[in-house]
């Protein structure tokens, strides 16, 4: 996937996003679930995403496949598992940094529909078909 040769993982993730977005927003609109939105903090989100992405790219395992690889004896996955454990410990004890650097860019509890200033229904009506078009394009690219 990271070499842009096999888009299977991207297609699975986009499909999950479309189904999950419609399901979660639909259930919320019906009052069957309540959303628990975490605060949007640019510094924390960017730093966490970069650390996770670099680790993922260097290790060549995502968390699930890393655990499976370790289970079958691929000890190179141990570095990733240890990194995930250290990251989890950090996340649980990050109250100190929460008051300083990682609060930079704190936008509160913000979702994409609010960011683009549309209702969740309008967002879904535009965004879900757009993701489906991207899925079709990826499928056409890999069918060749």
What is the residue-averaged pLDDT of the chain?
84
CA angle, residues 85, 100, 117, in degrees to nearest 5: 90
Model confidence at 118: pLDDT above 70: yes
What pLDDT shows up at residue 94? Answer: 66
Alpha helices, H only, the chain: 8-29, 42-59, 63-71, 77-92, 95-98, 112-115, 120-143
pLDDT digits (tens, 9 = 90+) for 29-44: 999 999 988 888 888 7
Tell me the β-bridge partners of 40.
108
């Amino acid at each position: 996937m990271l070499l842009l040769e096999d888009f299977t993982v991207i297609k699975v993730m986009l499909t999950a996003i479309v189904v999950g977005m419609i399901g979660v927003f639909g259930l919320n609109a019906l009052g069957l679930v309540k959303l628990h939105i975490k605060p949007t903090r640019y510094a924390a989100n960017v730093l966490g995403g970069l650390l996770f992405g670099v680790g993922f790219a260097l290790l060549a395992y995502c968390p699930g496949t890393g655990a499976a690889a370790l289970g079958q004896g691929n000890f190179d996955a141990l570095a990733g598992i240890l990194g995930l454990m250290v990251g989890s410990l950090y996340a649980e004890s990050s109250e100190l940094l929460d008051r300083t650097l990682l609060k930079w860019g704190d936008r509160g509890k913000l979702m994409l529909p609010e960011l683009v200033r549309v209702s969740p229904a309008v967002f879904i009506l535009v965004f879900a078909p757009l993701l489906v078009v991207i899925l079709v394009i990826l499928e056409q690219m890999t069918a060749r």
